Amino acid sequence: MQPQPSRRRISPRRLAALASVSALTLALCTSAGSGRLSPGTAVPGAGPSALSRTSAHGPCLIGSAREVQMSEGIPTGPGYTRSTGTVRALTLMIDFSDAPGAGDALDRYREFFPQTREWFSTSSYGRLDYRPEIPVPDWLRMPKSFRAYGIERGAPFDPGYRELVRDIVAEADPEVDFQEYDLLNVLVTPNAGPAALDTVLSVTFAGNAEAPKADGGPVSNASFVYSRQDDGSGSYDRTGYRVLPHENGHVFGLPDLYTAEGGGAVGHWDIMSEDWGANNDFLAWHKWKLGWLDASQVGCAASRGTREYLLTPLARTGGPKLVFIPVDAHSGYALELRTRAGNDEAVCRPGILVYRVDADVDTGMGPITVHDATRDSGGCTRAPNVHAELSDATFTPGQTFVDRAEGIRVAVVAAEKEKYQVRVTRSSAAP
């Protein structure tokens, strides 16, 4: 069984140049297997959270019918880090003889914390208590030069990363009991490798039971952050940390939503789609998947006929957040109310977001597609690194989304400040 291969983001402005590289790596990923734990393999701290559901949610528990590395299916498969309760994130800062850390290693740490901890607290409504821990508060010097590991964009786990993880474990082991932690963050000195604007090296190996062992168990869920995601717009201090919640999204089992063509499938509506620029949140689908929504906050529109649902802003704690309309056993439409609040700071047209979720589509291949209520409008924002066209994708009162082929109709019938009413009509029940 091969380990989980790489996850990367693409700087939008470098996309064209990288498209061919992406295609190549994705092809490589496709043949790499699921990387899931075999039954009975015990990994301390691992295992996704229990999904909150009732029997009425049955038709909405879509799954993949074919082998995919990381699926939008629900519930999340085994082997990933638990995403509720207290999660301890071992955070190590590493450097190399040919890229020595400049200044205090804790300055590197402070590029990501406490912001990443706060981001998860806000997004999870306080259900994920993310605790970064730094038992080694200095640069951990690797025994080889950066060049010697052969780390480049899309680099597979073997042999370079395997070697790097092995060396990290060996160097940190005297001071660290790896089994006390739920995930590993490796913050690489920013002078190692290319600038993120040229090539994003940051990567996560998730659910990787084949990783080198440390203190008796594999280092299954590890995020590596390189360089600085600084677009030169002057917002780095505020937004540069966002690569880490994106990478950690993978250790919790979430796939990449950008594709080889960039962020055009989901835009700025989820941090797994765009982690440059203004702050954003997770989609409600991801929040349910991560165990941050109760069954009572999720409506499952599976039966024939017409039903009305209330939705409250996704960023606000409490109230109904998600309506899912299953189309078949592996896909369906999700509805949620997005407003400018909480982690969502770039929302310029509050309203109901409608998107298709397909558990059979793999990470990076477009497992989620947002439907644009105002196609070719050019969007309602010019914020740097926010996908403009989809920024006004939301449906507002009086607008209707229709999928004729599936006999599904969604009308936004009323809106108050903190409450939208949607009417879902299906011509046939979910199979």
Tokens coding 338: 């997005």
Q: State which residue has the least CB distance to Zn ion.
A: 7
Binding status of residue 362 toward Zn ion by CB under 5 A: no
Residue 266 Cβ, how far from Zn ion at the closest point, in Å?
12
> Which range of residues in 3-11, 189-197, 311-319, 387-395 is near Zn ion by CB under 5 A?
3-11
Q: Which is nearer to Zn ion, 254 or 302 (CB)?
A: 254
Tokens coding 411: 């009308």
Place of tokens 């409608």: 354
Q: Which DSSP category does 256 fall into?
A: P
- Count residues contacting Zn ion (CB under 5 A)? 2
Tokens coding 303: 């039966």
Residue 250 Cβ, how far from Zn ion at the closest point, in Å?
6
Residue 27 Cβ, how far from Zn ion at the closest point, in Å?
17
Binding status of residue 270 toward Zn ion by CB under 5 A: no
Q: Which is nearer to Zn ion, 64 or 69 (CB)?
A: 69
Q: Which is nearer to Zn ion, 256 or 281 (CB)?
A: 256
Q: Is 288:311 a contact under the CB 8 Å cutoff? A: no
Place of tokens 């600085």: 228
Residue 255 Cβ, how far from Zn ion at the closest point, in Å?
8
Residue 8 Cβ, how far from Zn ion at the closest point, in Å?
6
Residue 319 Cβ, how far from Zn ion at the closest point, in Å?
30
Q: Which is nearer to Zn ion, 22 or 374 (CB)?
A: 22
Binding status of residue 256 toward Zn ion by CB under 5 A: yes
Radius of gyration, CA atoms only, the chain: 21
Bridge-partner residues for 332, per DSSP?
326, 357
Residue 231 Cβ, how far from Zn ion at the closest point, in Å?
17
Beta strands at 400-403 and 408-416: parallel, antiparallel or unpaired: antiparallel
Dihedral angle of Cα 277, 390, 253, 218, to the nearest 10 degrees: -40
Binding status of residue 275 toward Zn ion by CB under 5 A: no
3-state SS class at 158: helix
- E-state strands within 387-431: 400-403, 408-416, 419-426
Among 3, 4, 5, 7, binds Zn ion (CB under 5 A): 7
Nearest Cα residue to 77 out of 45, 117, 49, 111: 49
> Which range of residues in 116-124, 248-256, 290-298, 390-398 is near Zn ion by CB under 5 A?
248-256
The span from the CA of 161 to the CA of 313, in Å, is: 41
* Interface ranges with Zn ion (CB under 5 A): 7, 256
